[in-house]
Every structure is written in C-alpha cells, then in structure tokens.
C-alpha cells in the first residue's frame, strides 16, 4: 500500500520542464567554467579564459577576434580574454559584456559537496561561483556564441571581457584593461554583475533590480601610539583604551543620509511597494534627508541603511607586544563602503571628526579605488530592460538599484564606460551561499535569466 501511495504521489507531482537542447549545451559550458578552479590560492583564470576561447573558436570566431592575455610575470594564471563580434554599423559604439571568472576561496572540508564539481540537485546548481560570477560569465560567453550562430552581424559591435581579480588578489584584469588596452574594451556602455532581484522565503519573485552605481571599497587604519612600559605601573594614557574609545565613538557615528538619482528612484518606488510606517518614512526622508526620525525607521533594515549612506565598520584589531607590558601601539582596520561620489579625503575627515581624538592617526590603505559618480539611468538603456522584464517576469516590478558591495564596474565607470548591473537574477533571503558555504543557483532561475539577457542584448545591438 505504501508503494502505491508513493507512486500516486509521484504521478501527481508536477513534472519539471523538459530541458531544451540549447539549455543542455549551455549547461555544459556553465559546468566547465565552474569546474575550472579560479581561486587566487590554487586556481587559474587563464585556464578558464582559454577554455571559453576554445568554445568561441568552435562557434566560428576567428583568432583575430579573440585576445587572450596572461596576468603579470609573477601571476600568469590571472589572465583573461577579450572577444569581439564586429557590428555592421561603424557609427555605433560597442556594447561590452563584462564578467569576472575568479571566485572566493572554498574549502572542501567545509562544504557538503565538492565546491569545484557542479552538482545539480533538487532544482539547484551547486558549486563555487555558481552565482558569483560564473553564471554571468557563462551566460555572456553563451550569448556571444548564440549571436554568432545567427549568421548575421549585429548593427552594434559586441565585446566580451572575462577578467580575474575582482574578488581580491594582486592583479585585477579589468583595471589592467582600462589602463593599458582600453581600445580593446571601449564601448558606449557595459553590462556587468551587481544587480540582484529579491525572492521571498517561499521563492516568490518580489522585485527585479537594475544596478546603476555602486559603493566604493576603502580600508583605513586607525592607530594609537604610546611609550608603553611595565604593566605593573599603568599610566593614564593607554594605546588600547584610546583606540577602543575611538572605535566606540565611530561605531555610534551615523554618516549622513544622501541620495543619488538611482537610490532616489529606488526609494520612491519602494515606498509605494512596502507602504505602512516604512513607506511613509521613505517619503519623508526623500523630502528631507536630514529627517532623523524617518531615517531611524528606514534604517532598521540593514540593506536600506547601507543604501542611504557611506558606512564604516571595524573589522580587525592588533595591539600590544607582550602580556606583561603596556601596549606601545594599537591598530584597527576600518572597512568603509563609500557612497558613490564621496571622496577618500571626505570620508577620512568624517572618521576623524567621529573619533574626536587627534592623537589617533587615520590612514587610507591600499591603492586608492576610483570613486566615480553613478552612471545615468539613460532611457535608451533602462527602458528596454523594463519592457522586456514585463514579458519574461510578468508582474514583477523593476527597481533602479545601487549595490552596497563593489564590482569591477568602478574601473570602467571611472574611465568613461558607463557600466550597469544587469537584471534577471534573483536572490533568496539567505543570499544563496554567495561567498559562503554551498553556493547555489536555481536551475529554473538561471535558464530564465539567460533567456532574458539574450533578448535584452539583442535589443541593444540591433
């Protein structure tokens, strides 16, 4: 009887949609990309680029339209590729498709499945990079193949850049390209990662995002110094206590709310969607960014809080040199995500004002990132995305978005190539394991995103 009931249940369950032949071919490309380890510690973006180049050549791209480039002499494995599909109208500047192939580290012992073996299970693809960002790398490479197979040149030239170093490391391919070979990737605009739609806990699609602008990553070192001495003779000035006090004051400091065109459009639309107290507070804050009461209500949501302002948070501490000695030096790393257009000098001054201690030095770390303003939400770019979304994702609103993370788009935006995070991707409340354990991508979602982006790119290049 139990077998009969089980059989009946299986017959009653809705059957998964049959996979189309073109989806099967795409899945093989996606699988190859995921299973090419591209971590900074043990992987090779160069190998990933070579494998994607081989697929482009098999689709009919001549060697003259594919440029493979290695990383620097001490990191040849950090290479990438630029491929070009020439357009028929020389008056039109190109469209660039940008994706990074490198991924965050993943330890096999921590994962339920091998992070570098793509596993399809219960409607999900599992693997490091399944979402960030090998989904886009695979979709964009596949799009170049599909456009080639149409047998007719698009009006606008299409370029593909697969680069390394977005997740960190000594070499960033996107930055290298804009500094050394901008002509290879020069375009009227570029499509990139950075935009994420939202699904609720039940899997229902709530909204799509179209990313125009991103916060800028910048670390600062806060340091307190002291002559130190024997721990049996404490003194009133203490490097550890002074640094700790400064960090507490910084932690209580709220950077002022501000809006870009993108975030103003986002909160205007979101206020109508969410309604209630939060929606009313958004309306008030849009009218007056200095409204502290409205700010407090909207900022209860961590994502909204980060979208409204620059944020800085202590992430590392280092102090003292012996258990029985007063610290001579105490340091903290403070990681800031700066609102688009905010300068390093401005944020440094805000930190110094917040800690209110002139004995503590505040020093920017690393090579300064560019801090470009967000690209414009041009109707010629935004409107087709909205129109097509209504066809592919009926009833799901499209919202302009600013990512609170950072992407390689900052290098392009700062060098005259407006760069946008493409819509079509949806994230669950847990973030789908991106940068964490058991990263996953919805099978149905990936195929839907692929179809949407192919149609959108065709609109842009016809």
- Reported as a single tens digit per residue, the pLDDT across 377-398 is 999 999 999 999 999 999 999 9
Identify the pLDDT of residue 8.
39
Is residue 359 located within the same domain as residue 412?
no
36 and 43 Cβ atoms separated by less than 8 Å: yes
Q: Is residue 441 part of a domain?
A: yes
The enclosing H or E element of 209 equals: strand 205-214
Number of domains in the chain: 2
Identify the pLDDT of residue 64.
98
Domain end position, chosen among 308, 329, 364: 364
Sorted by sequence, the CB contacts under 8 Å of residue 81 that are 6+ apart come out as 49, 50, 52, 53, 66, 67, 68, 69, 160, 161, 162
> What is the domain-level CATH number for residue 352?
3.30.70.360
* Residue 292: how many other CB atoms lie within 10 Å: 11
Q: Is residue 383 part of a domain?
A: no
Q: Is residue 375 part of a domain?
A: no
pLDDT tens digit at each of 462 positions of the chain = 334 333 333 334 344 578 999 999 999 999 999 999 999 999 999 999 999 999 999 999 999 999 999 999 999 999 999 999 999 999 999 999 999 999 999 999 999 999 999 999 999 999 999 999 999 999 999 999 999 999 999 999 999 999 999 998 899 999 999 999 999 999 999 999 999 898 888 889 999 999 999 999 999 999 999 999 999 999 999 999 999 999 999 999 999 999 999 999 999 999 998 999 999 999 999 999 999 999 999 999 998 999 999 999 999 999 999 999 999 999 999 999 999 989 999 999 999 999 999 999 999 999 888 888 889 999 999 999 999 999 999 999 999 999 998 899 999 999 999 999 999 999 988 899 999 999 999 999 999 999 999 999 999 999
Domain end position, chosen among 329, 364, 399: 364
Is residue 49 located within the same domain as residue 96?
yes
Residues 117-136: tens digit of each pLDDT:
999 999 999 999 999 999 99
CB half-sphere exposure, 457, CA atoms < 13 A: 32
Strand partners, 191: 97, 420
Domain end position, chosen among 346, 364, 382: 364
- The C-alpha angle with vertex 317 and arms to 403 and 333, in degrees rounded to 5, equals 40
Please tell me the distance from the alpha carbon of residue 306 to that of residue 247, in angstroms, as a whole number: 19
Residue 100 vs residues 127, 357, 373, 403: alpha-carbon distances, Å: 16, 41, 22, 17
Instruction: Provide the token pair at 64.
Output: 């003259």
Instruction: Provide the token pair at 441.
Output: 């991508």
Is residue 138 located within the same domain as residue 264?
no
Is residue 158 located within the same domain as residue 32?
yes
Q: Is residue 393 part of a domain?
A: no
CB half-sphere exposure, 443, CA atoms < 13 A: 18
Is residue 325 located within the same domain as residue 450?
no
Q: Is residue 3 part of a domain?
A: no
Please tell me the distance from the alpha carbon of residue 427 to that of residue 449, in angstroms, as a whole number: 12
Order the strands of the 440-442 sheet from edge to edge: 119-121, 124-126, 440-442
142 and 79 Cβ atoms separated by less than 8 Å: no
What three-state secondary structure class fits 307? helix
Residue 177 lies in domain: 21-194+407-461
pTM above 0.85, yes or no: yes
Identify the pLDDT of residue 196.
86
411 and 161 Cβ atoms separated by less than 8 Å: no
Is residue 188 located within the same domain as residue 225?
no
Is residue 317 located within the same domain as residue 242?
yes
């Amino acid at each position: 009887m139990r077998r009969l009931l089980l059989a009946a249940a299986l017959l009653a369950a809705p059957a998964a949609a049959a996979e189309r032949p073109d989806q099967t071919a795409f899945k093989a490309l996606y699988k190859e990309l995921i299973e090419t380890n591209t971590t900074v510690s043990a992987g090779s973006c160069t190998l990933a680029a070579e494998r994607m180049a081989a697929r482009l050549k098999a689709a009919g791209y001549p060697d003259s339209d594919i440029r493979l480039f290695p990383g620097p002499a001490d990191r040849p494995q950090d290479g990438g590729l630029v491929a070009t599909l020439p357009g028929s109208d020389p008056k039109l500047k190109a469209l660039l498709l940008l994706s990074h192939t490198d991924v965050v580290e993943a330890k096999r012992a921590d994962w339920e499945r091998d992070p570098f073996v793509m596993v399809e299970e219960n409607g999900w693809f599992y693997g490091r990079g399944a979402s960030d960002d090998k989904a886009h790398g695979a979709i964009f490479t596949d799009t170049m193949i599909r456009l080639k197979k149409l047998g007719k040149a698009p009006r606008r030239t299409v370029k593909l850049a697969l680069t390394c170093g977005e997740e960190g490391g000594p070499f960033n391919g996107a930055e290298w390209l804009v500094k050394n070979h901008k002509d290879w990737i020069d375009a009227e605009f570029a499509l990139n990662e950075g935009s994420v739609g939202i699904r609720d806990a039940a899997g229902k699609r709530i909204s799509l995002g179209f990313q125009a602008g991103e916060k800028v990553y910048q670390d600062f070192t806060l340091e307190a110094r002291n002559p130190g001495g024997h721990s049996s003779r404490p003194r009133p000035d203490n490097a550890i206590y002074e640094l700790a006090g400064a960090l507490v004051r910084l932690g209580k400091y709220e950077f002022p709310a501000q809006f870009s065109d993108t975030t103003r459009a986002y909160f205007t639309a979101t206020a109508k969607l969410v309604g209630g107290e939060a929606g009313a507070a958004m309306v008030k804050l849009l009218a007056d960014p200095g409204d502290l009461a409205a700010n407090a209500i909207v900022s209860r949501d961590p994502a909204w809080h980060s979208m409204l302002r620059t944020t800085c948070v202590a992430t590392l501490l280092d102090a003292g040199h012996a258990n029985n000695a007063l610290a001579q030096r105490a340091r903290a790393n403070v990681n800031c995500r700066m609102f688009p257009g905010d300068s390093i000098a401005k944020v440094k001054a805000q930190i110094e004002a917040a800690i209110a201690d002139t004995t503590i030095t505040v020093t920017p770390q690393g090579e300064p990132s560019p801090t470009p303003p967000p690209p414009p939400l041009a109707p010629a770019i935004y409107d087709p995305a909205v129109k097509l979304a209504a066809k592919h994702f009926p009833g799901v609103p499209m919202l302009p978005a600013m990512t609170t993370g950072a992407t390689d788009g900052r290098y392009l935006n700062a060098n005259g190539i407006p760069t946008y995070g493409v819509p079509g991707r949806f994230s669950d409340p847990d973030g789908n394991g991106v940068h964490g354990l058991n990263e996953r991508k919805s099978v149905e979602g990936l195929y839907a995103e692929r179809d949407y982006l192919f149609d959108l790119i065709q609109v842009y290049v016809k």
